[in-house]
Structure 1
Amino acid sequence: MYTLYFAPTANGHKILIMLEALGVPYRIHRINLAQGEQHQPDFARLTIHRKIPLLVDHDQALILPESGAILQYLAEKHLRFLPCVGPERYAVLHWLAWQISSLGPMAGQSYHFIHQEAEGNQYARSRYQEQTVHLFNIVEKALAGRDFIARMYSIADMAIYPWLRIHAQLQVDIQTLPNVTGYLKRMAAREEVLTAYAKGARSTSTLPA
């Protein structure tokens, strides 16, 4: 049994998609970021980072923060969505690391300067938005001739898709990115993705990260 400390952000939805894909029992503990619930003592005792998502594996008495680490943990525990050995494993880990180190931080900062600091530093807004567009174009090239980012459906897709999904909020025009457009449609039609976003929609927070 798992408990997912969750808010409906791109990082939060990664883990919901994985839990739904695995079909394992879990419950959601919602954290209202807008009301600062991540700073409440009960949550702060679980993680010094005071960030969601946070996964509790009650069977293993394990408390695990950070979305990338959670995805890898669940994949290795259940032996799904991450090859155990070989080049295919490292292709998935490559794209998971890329999302964590590049797409997430750049898109998150772009969102911040577009929506939360709209009157702020124009240089910062332009820089982060340009970098986000560049990263979308990397995905466009990587998807040429394949349905999923590492060829097979994996935790890399679960990590990347929620960030691509908010392209309109990031003011990224995907009309010239046919591979990205097709990928978004394929991912959005998956049952675990549909269910994850339906469950996630019950919360009111709209922050992306």
Structure 2
Amino acid sequence: MSRPDIHLYTAATMNGYKPVIFLEEAGIPYDLTSIDFSKQEQKTPDYLKLNPNGKIPVIEDRAEGRAIFESGAILWHLAKKYGAFLPADPVKRSEVMQWMFFQVGHVGPMMGQAMYFQHIAAPNGHEEPFSIKRYVDESRRLLEVLNTHLEGREWLAAGEYTIADMMVYPWARAYVWARTSVDGLPHLQAWFERIDTRPSIQKALTIPKANPHFWDANADASAFAKENAARFAGDVRKD
């Protein structure tokens, strides 16, 4: 039996779920290697040959004999390779790319910092209210941008469900973990509901494991929060 073309290296994070979402939605077979941050597997010499930046996710495209890193580049590659979730029209493709870059340049970094200062820095002795407020406020502003854009639209770009939605969704939907309110954002919440109910999304968010505390305000996050803060304690500067 031949191996799948795609070998995915990932972990259960917002960026890590993106290629899983595409592969599950497109019904593409793939091999999976779950990367264990606690063992620093993303920093091993073999992994750094795949991604010099030592981050997840990465795919190896066996058919092409090359590795691709950065989640946006991965989804763009997969969408073009399999002709899925990316329109052929160049103007519509440009719309998709713009919202992908909106996630890469804004939603991910800002919400990621909101999560970092609340869930990693603060539990490790660096409580910084100014930084927390700065990143939570900016996260809220970006969610408001999405809400305004989604008024009268079902999807972010090109009038159809695309890799732009797959890129933005795991981050924006993790507003719970970022402790950022979505109150008063009905169009954004309706977009969440449309994606939440897709069977492939429900499956993808359990691979390589489920993290319900990212998405569910009623989930018990205490054990995970403690483990997460300890795992990334080394990332907090010690004065």
Shorter-chain TM-score bucket reads over 0.9
User: Higher relative contact order at CA 8 Å, sep ≥6: structure 1 or structure 2?
Assistant: 1
CA distance in 1, matches of 2:96, 2:72: 12
Q: TM-score, normalised by structure 2?
A: 0.82
Task: Provide the TM-score with structure 1 as the length reference.
Answer: 0.93
State the shift of 1:42 in Å: 2.2
| Alignment gaps of 5+ in structure 2 | 212-223, 230-239
Q: Match for residue 179 of structure 1?
A: 187
1:136 maps to amino acid: L
Pairing of 1:18-37 with structure 2 (within 5 A)? 18-37=22-41
C-alpha deviation, 1:79, in angstroms: 1.4
Question: CA deviation digits over 1:61-120, x for unaligned, max 9?
Answer: 110000000011111111111112232111111100110011011111111001101133
Q: For residues 153 and 104 of structure 1, what CA distance do their matches in structure 2 show? A: 20
Residue from 117, 120, 130 that aligns with 2:127: 120
Q: In the alignment, is residue 143 of structure 1 matched against residue 147 of structure 2?
A: no
Please give the alpha-carbon distance, in whole angstroms, between the structure 2 residues aligned to 1:133 and 1:65: 28
Q: 1:9–1:206: 8 Å Cα contact kept in structure 2?
A: no
34-43 or 164-173, larger mean C-alpha shift: 34-43
**Corresponding residue number in structure 2 for 1:85:** 89
SS in 2 for 1:17: helix
Cα distance in 2 for residues equivalent to 1:61 and 1:161: 30
Q: Which has the larger radius of gyration?
A: 2
1:8-87 alignment runs, 5 A limit: 8-87=12-91
User: What SS does structure 2 have at the residue aligned with 1:3?
Assistant: strand
- Between the aligned partners of 1:85 and 1:40, the Cα distance in structure 2 is 41
Distance 2:21 2:196 in 1: 11
SS in 1 for 2:177: coil
Contact 1:142 1:149 in 2 (8 A): yes
Distance apart, 1:41 and its partner CA: 2.2
SS in 1 for 2:8: strand
Report the count of equivalent residues: 207
Farther off after superposition, 174-183 or 99-108: 174-183
| Structure 1: unaligned runs, 5 residues or longer | none
CA distance in 1: counterparts of 2:51 and 2:206, whole angstroms:
27
The offset of 1:123, in angstroms, is 1.9
- 1:22 shift after superposition: 1.6
Residues in 2 aligned to 1:80 and 1:95: alpha-carbon distance in whole angstroms: 17
What is the DSSP-based 3-state SS (H/G/I as helix, E as strand, rest coil) of the residue aligned with 1:97?
A: helix
The answer to whether the 8 A contact 1:148-1:183 is kept is yes
> What value does the CA root-mean-square deviation take over the aligned residues?
1.8
